[in-house]
Chains A and B, each alone.
Chain A
Amino acid sequence: MTAPLLQVDELRVTFDIRPPGAWPWTPSLKLQAVGGVSLQLAPGEALGIVGESGSGKSTLARAIIGTIPSTGGRVIFDGRDLTTMDPATRRRHRRDVQMIFQDPLAALNPRMNVGDIIAEPLLTHEPGLGRKAARRQAAELMERVGLLPNLINRYPHEFSGGQCQRIGIARALILRPRLLICDEPVSALDVSIRAQVVNLLKDLQREFGVAMIFIAHDLSVVRHVSDRILVMYLGKMMEVAPARALIATPRHPYTKALIAAVPIPDPLREKARPRPVLEGELPSPLNPPSGCVFRTRCPIARPSCAEGPPAVLNPGPGHFVACPWIDEA
């Protein structure tokens, strides 16, 4: 394997929550959104991250890109630790890592026209370029993402959700970044538009050779885009494996439940198949279960699961599972 483009070591993000009606001197409650996640990403690789709402996927992405400060661990990009950089150096390094957001319209400044929005990263990092040249590049990229370049003077509210997401993609790619982080880029879009945007992302990823972290709560979308998939639950990694292996032979009980929840577009088969539904709710991240965080809802949990973090097994090449009981279930 080549040297990783991105290496995340035991990354933690903790939020301070002020209890309601607290005195100024009472200590804040600690909400652990990301509890020690490690991952590696090779250049050009696409990693999918799935998990239900509140599992810390988006927080992980924002901690990697640095819009949320991390409280522990390291993010090493291209051999340099991003978490210890001073703000000015960090700003210069941002050109290599770009992000696509969940709500396509909210991610665009309503007072700026499309050309200026797409050209903004370019003018920020290459101020000598000039607005005209930057807008010309923006127009070229608009064409590439499937927008008519003569709409360059229009404003975000004049576009549909799918078009807005294309603008967001163009803005993220104009600097030719080496890592693209997509935070649920299609979950706010209409189902009919989803496939188009996902395919566009996939094509552009190949064309630009950019590594990608693709976050979604929908396994069927992630499967389509990713080379590898990482499953998160309550801020912890549950399982990571090559996409094909994870879908075909899921080992972790949580992954199995997630895959079982993906609907099959055939009512007869859908009715016939067994359905290991998860019981209960996601526990509060303010007070996560001891030991394995999944044990409160796990069908194969046993008393010893509460004692410590679960051992990580390696049942196949590149396949890691944070559950010691997978061979017995």
Chain B
Amino acid sequence: MAMVPRAAVQELEAALAAGQAVRGRSLWADARRRFMANRAALVSLAILVLIALFAIFGGLIAAWDIETVDWSALGTGAAVNGRPSFATGHYFGTDQDGRDLFARTVQGTRISLMVGIVGSLVAVVVGTLYGAVSGFVGGRTDQVLMRIVDVMMSIPFMFVLILLLVVFGRSIIMIFVGVGLISWLEMARIARGQALSIKNMEYVEAAVAIGVRPMTIILRHIVPNLAGIVTVYATLLIPNMIIIESFISFLGLGVQDPQTSLGALISRGAAQMQYGTLWMLLFPLGFLIVMLFTFFYVGDGLRDALDPKDR
């Protein structure tokens, strides 16, 4: 138990004496304090913010754009003029086609982050509501809604995603659609399980007895109490989405050239490994790994902060 500073106590006494309304400390505020005390999570969050800034504004400091070919860095020149160097403006070097790797990494990081965030947003909005409704209403509705989730989960997702990309053409929109289609399924199950236990809490019964409408009960009493677990799961979902996108791009099915993504860059870089141009692999790979690690640490920190009993 931390000592309470004397000044804070005096302030509280004064407020009580004056009859002013005292500010309460919500569970969210408590969680924020615990999160702030978690070094690894805080550092990870800072790194993530930096990576996000890099993905958004990195293009401004790039000397080259993503598609212009530097002819001097082609062929046998790649190992010499394509090296990472400030003099040539290729901070991260060039890829095997002589294009600036710095600009391309910025672009790839942006795509990967977007895929992760879009997938996780769909999961949060659709999955949480779907699961909360299913768990709260219960009975036959619950059975039907959850069997739909089971059926969708049993379809091999990678196969469907590849089919989507083949039939409708390779585009980033199709990747968003595919990721959105599956990301909410697991979330719906988690939200339903939680909603089932929250439904039996006395405050939900109190709301029923007061006469609150069912939809309002879901939005006001169930969803806010789901929010902890949903936040944690959403943070841990982002890296999964990034990995799926990278895998698809690694197979060569992701975004269209000259657009790129981290997975595509890693795939191209790995193909050049034996020619002494390792930077083509290491820069995008480094960004991917750092992103995944930091997301996991932040998710872990959020879990500890939001659910202190459950460690």
Contact = CB atoms under 8 A, between A and B. Distances in A.
B210 interface: yes
Nearest to B214: A87
Nearest to B228: A111
B201 A106 contact: yes
B21 A111 contact: no
A176 interface: no
Interface in B1-45: 15-16, 19-28
A158 B25 contact: yes
Interface stretch (A148-156, A231-239, A260-268): A148-156
A168 B202 CA distance: 11
B170 interface: no
A94 B209 contact: yes
Interface string A82-107: 00000000011111011101110011
A157 B24 CA distance: 10
A77 B25 CA distance: 41
B208 A67 contact: yes
Contacts, number: 93
A171 B16 contact: no
Interface in A132-173: 148-155, 157-158, 168, 171
Interface stretch (A31-39, A113-121, A240-248, A320-328): A113-121
Contacts of A107: 202-203, 205-206
A124 B21 contact: no
Contact of B203 (A65, A102, A109, A152): A109
Interface residues of A, number: 40
Nearest to A101: B202
A124 B210 contact: yes
A158 B21 contact: no
B210 A94 contact: yes
Interface residues of B, number: 30
Q: By CB atoms of chain A within 10 A, which of B21, B201, B212, B220 has the most?
A: B21
A150 B203 contact: no
A91 B212 CA distance: 7
Nearest to B22: A150
Contacts of B276: none
Contacts of A171: 206, 210
B225 interface: yes
Contact of A121 (B27, B210, B220, B221): B210
A98 B209 contact: yes
A67 B212 CA distance: 12
Contacts of B156: none
Interface in A55-96: 62, 65-67, 91-95
Contacts of B16: 148, 150
28 contacts: A65-B209, A67-B205, A67-B209, A94-B209, A94-B210, A95-B211, A98-B209, A99-B206, A99-B209, A101-B202, A109-B207, A109-B221, A109-B225, A111-B26, A111-B27, A111-B227, A112-B224, A120-B207, A120-B210, A150-B15, A150-B19, A153-B23, A153-B24, A154-B24, A155-B24, A158-B24, A168-B206, A171-B206
Interface of A: 62, 65-67, 91-95, 97-99, 101-103, 106-114, 120-121, 124-125, 148-155, 157-158, 168, 171
Interface of B: 15-16, 19-28, 201-203, 205-213, 216, 220-221, 224-225, 227
